[in-house]
Chain A
Amino acid sequence: MMSHKSKYYKVAGITLQLISDYSISENTFHPKFKLFEVPMPGVDMVTIRHHFHFPEFDGKIKKNQIEVYKKVPFHIFKSKDSWTYRYTSIFTDDIVTSAIGEMNDDYSSINIYTEDLTQKDYSQASFNALTLFNTDQMIFAKFLCDRNGLMIHSNGFNINGNGILLAGISGSGKSTLSGMLKEQNHRILCDDRMFIRKMDEEFRIFGNWCYGSHPDFSNGSAPLKGLFFLEKGAENQINEIKQKKEIVSRLSQVLVKPLLDSNGWQKYFITIEEMIKRVRFFRIEFDLSGTICHQINKLFGV
């Protein structure tokens, strides 16, 4: 069986180089990563290194670091030029019970340290995240912010070359409407977590591996042409929102909030302002008949 100590994965235009002290087997990572594997380095690249011992500093709080986040499974500290993630698993089936992540300021260099993991364990682990945490969402939130992007609690679709987002909190009907669109053979890009980036003067949405409860994902992308805020209702109707204040208010409720310092948030706010200028936003209400799909299709020339 072929084994490697380095692999490349690409998502949203960012290449992640994974370098490990152990050999990486076909089963080290969940099969979902196959879709994102690329053969060579990219222009915009970050590096994640896996080590199988704890670092000398042992994840303790360093001089000049402040605690920025504390909620299981994460305890996160930041200094001017580095971040430390202490991860303690609460998941019974998690092969990594604790890990320490050491990131430089822009996360372009990430070192993950864990103990009590043999080469054999690592080869068969089927990890759900390249960071060895329970999700890679937190590093992507930072990557996207630094690249005119953000993450939205939404399902993404490619409809006839048009990227659309169905946004709403849990229970808002994203899965129901997604099911209807899938029946119409529209391609889902990702369930529950969508990556958005402004590239070449347009906003694009990207499939990724950080999906929610449904393992619906792809490595595709599409220009973002419409964001739909889901509303409870008995009618089938789509209304474009023209009031920018309403858009900001609704958007702020579905953003996946990244961990950023004040400079990071300034960049994030600029991205939101740009997005509001360039993307169309809608309220959508639907029943279970599926007729709302015809209205969506019509909107995008299907």
Chain B
Amino acid sequence: MSFTADINAIYQPSENVISKDIEGQFMIVPLISGVGNLNEEIFQLNTTGSAFWKKLDGKTSFGDIMVSLTLEFDAPYETIKKDIIHLVDQLIKKKFIFEVR
């Protein structure tokens, strides 16, 4: 079953990951067992993905972040939403983020 994000959902990064932007390449690294896969490569985000990650403050809703990204990238809402829903699905499965509401 495909993942569907609630526009009212609020997500927050796990405290068990560390993220870093080096020279424009954004990376996420799990710190403990059970979060992501410690044997896998470092997880990389593209430009849209990293912009999404940086807006995860545990307060702003998924829908509001989508609107903000649409303006920032001057791209259709549905295009951004499609990309980000796929990313959110991955991030939740890896336990890199969790829903606070």
Contacts and interface: CB of A to CB of B under 8 A. Distances in A.
B contact patch SS: loop
A68 B17 CA distance: 12
A68 B42 CA distance: 16
Interface string A258-289: 01111001100100110010000000000000
B41 A252 contact: yes
Contacts of A245: 23-25
Contact of B32 (A68, A71, A244, A247): A68
Given A252-B41, A252-B44, A276 B34 contact: no
A249 B39 contact: no
A67 B32 contact: yes
Interface in B14-41: 18, 20, 22-25, 27, 29, 31-34, 38-39, 41
Interface residues of B, number: 17
A249 B41 CA distance: 11
Interface residues on chain A, size class: 20 to 34
B38 A252 contact: no
10 contacts: A66-B32, A68-B31, A70-B33, A244-B23, A245-B25, A249-B25, A252-B25, A265-B29, A269-B20, A273-B22
Interface of A: 66-71, 76, 244-245, 247-249, 252-253, 255, 257, 259-262, 265-266, 269, 272-273, 276
